[in-house]
A and B are shown apart, each in its own frame.
Chain A
Amino acid sequence: MATRTKAAASRNTVLLIATRKGLWTLAGDAARRNWKLAGPHFLGHIVHHAVLDPRDGKTLLAAARTGHLGPTIFRSTDRGRSWKEAARPPAFREGSGRTVDHTFWLTPGHASERGVWYAGTSPQGLFRSTDGGVTWAAVAGFNDHPKRKAWCNNDEDGTPDGAKLHSVVVDPRDAAHLYVSMSSGGTFESVDGGADWRPLNRGVKADFQPDPDPEFGHDPHCLRIAPTAPDRLYQQNHCGIFRLDRPAERWTDIGASMPKSVGPIGFPLVVHPHDADTLWVFPMDGSSVWPRVSPGGRPAVYRSVNGGRTWQRQATGLPAAQAWWTVKRQAMTADRASAVGVYFGTTSGELWGSRDEGRTWKCLARNLPHIYAVEVA
């Protein structure tokens, strides 16, 4: 165990912090005690997501746009020392009438498919690159699916920042087995590499719809697969927290066991890299007019170690009162050390980390812009 921790930590954790005003990196020492902030890259760009390719350990993609300029993807093949723009960023088919406002989500493809990446956009679209992010093509099986318009409610429903396709999940056992989620629209599955798709939402609440158990139209905020047990999926949804153990088709409500004073609403969800029963969420206030802040101004992570049957509050080190920030859906992640480090970035520009799986928290960086995404590089 100790050897494993040392081995993992000796790579020195680096966090990619994507913000509303650019991209920063935060590099930890071997013990993950001291951290050094560097950046910005792309100052003034709205960076929705920045992700390292785990297959080569050096390719970074960053999804960016500015208030004026259209969306693009920046690529680095030297861990961020230099960047080059994608030659053909994600764009909808000419004549489709749809335009990509921004690329919201990036997912490296299967370990066996080097160079393959997926991108989810706003409005909802799915794109694929087979050359490490240089050129992107629409996944026509999704974007032109005869039911896509219905799934996306004719592009009329969206979050305040636009409807999004996010949480592109690749089954680590099968490159052709994919999941995506949409806000709104729900969660969808493909077993043929994206040629066809079907809804996978039974049991998930959608209390903003008249049908209590619709086939689609839900609002999953974040979908995750358990790395050590890929038949297990978790989702933090607009209406709660849910778990699905395939091949089952019906999600189980695991948010009902959250404390009533906190509730089951939030954006991010992180699964333990070595234990499929352990996960973390970051609740926010989804009551009344949806303030989308920490409940009561008292931010806390909640952890379950039994697949969501029970939850423990983890707030040691976090502000005890009058802290009104929250955490966006891509802005919480974990490293792969034996004693897993958990990290989240806030809407107020703070980066918090825990070296002990959430038991204690320390602020690692302050005064950044609104944080959209945090990933381990």
Chain B
Amino acid sequence: MTGAARARGARAATRVRIPGLLRSYTGGAEVVDVELAGAAPSVADALAALDARYPGLAFRLVDEQHAIRPHIKLFVDRAIARDLAEPIPRGAELMIVGALSGG
């Protein structure tokens, strides 16, 4: 987290690591910082913030029934997040990974 983000206190930025397969959305950016409102933001909040900045991105990762797609893995500070409701602690990092989808 940047010093500037820390200074914003409750609205500190959450760092998201973007895999190559999504960088067409982020203009090539490998790391994106999103600001999450509320006291206990979740993975869903982070993806919503990403989607607001890069429209269409979230639906490529999460289906219409709010399930993480089969070949997408999400990690919060290196621990796998299996549910979008899982919290993202302040200062934690969200990592998006495309995992083993066949040939």
Seen from chain A, the residues whose Cβ lies within 8 Å of a Cβ on chain B are 66-70, 72, 85-87, 89, 91-100
Structural contact, A70 and B55, CB atoms closer than 8 A:
no
* Complex A-B: 11 CB contacts under 8 Å: A67-B101, A68-B69, A69-B21, A69-B60, A70-B59, A70-B62, A85-B56, A89-B56, A91-B59, A94-B64, A99-B63
Select B72's contact among A68, A72, A86, A94, beta carbons within 8 Å.
A68
Select B56's contact among A68, A72, A93, A98, beta carbons within 8 Å.
A72
- Let me know if B61 is at the binding interface, CB within 8 A: yes
Cβ contacts under 8 Å, A89 to chain B: 56, 59
| Alpha-carbon distance A96/B63, docked complex (angstroms) | 12
A-contact 0/1 string along B18-58, CB 8 Å cutoff: 00011000000000000000000000000000000001100
Structural contact, A70 and B102, CB atoms closer than 8 A:
no
- Let me know if B79 is at the binding interface, CB within 8 A: no
Select A70's contact among B61, B66, B99, beta carbons within 8 Å.
B61
A85-B56, A89-B59, A94-B64 given; name 19 further pairs at CB < 8 Å: A66-B101, A67-B102, A68-B71, A68-B72, A69-B21, A69-B60, A69-B61, A70-B60, A72-B60, A85-B55, A87-B55, A91-B64, A92-B65, A94-B65, A94-B66, A95-B65, A99-B64, A99-B67, A100-B64
A92-B64, A94-B64, A99-B63 in contact; A70/B101 too (CB < 8 A)? no
In residues 62-103 of chain B, which contact A (Cβ within 8 Å)?
62-67, 69, 71-72, 98-99, 101-102
Most buried by A among B21, B62, B67: B21
Chain A residue nearest in CB terms to B67:
A99
Cβ contacts under 8 Å, B21 to chain A: 66, 68-69
Structural contact, B64 and A67, CB atoms closer than 8 A:
no
Chain B residue nearest in CB terms to A66:
B21
Seen from chain B, the residues whose Cβ lies within 8 Å of a Cβ on chain A are 21-22, 55-56, 59-67, 69, 71-72, 98-99, 101-102
Lowest 4 CB-CB distances: which A-B pairs, in order? A67-B101, A68-B98, A91-B64, A69-B60
Cβ contacts under 8 Å, A96 to chain B: 65
A86-B56, A89-B59 in contact; A68/B99 too (CB < 8 A)? yes
Structural contact, B69 and A70, CB atoms closer than 8 A:
yes
Structural contact, A68 and B101, CB atoms closer than 8 A:
yes
Q: What is the number of contacts between chain A and chain B, taking CB atoms within 8 Å?
A: 55
Cβ contacts under 8 Å, A97 to chain B: 65
Chain A residue nearest in CB terms to B55:
A87
Cβ contacts under 8 Å, A92 to chain B: 64-65
Cβ contacts under 8 Å, A95 to chain B: 65
> Nearest chain B CB to A183's CB is how many angstroms away?
22
| Alpha-carbon distance A67/B101, docked complex (angstroms) | 5
A91-B64, A94-B64 in contact; A72/B59 too (CB < 8 A)? yes
> Nearest chain B CB to A347's CB is how many angstroms away?
15
Cβ contacts under 8 Å, A70 to chain B: 59-63, 69
Cβ contacts under 8 Å, B22 to chain A: 69
Cβ contacts under 8 Å, A93 to chain B: 64
| Alpha-carbon distance A92/B66, docked complex (angstroms) | 12
Chain B residue nearest in CB terms to A73:
B56
| Alpha-carbon distance A91/B71, docked complex (angstroms) | 18
| Alpha-carbon distance A70/B22, docked complex (angstroms) | 11
Cβ contacts under 8 Å, B65 to chain A: 92, 94-99
Chain B residue nearest in CB terms to A97:
B65
Most buried by A among B59, B98, B101: B59
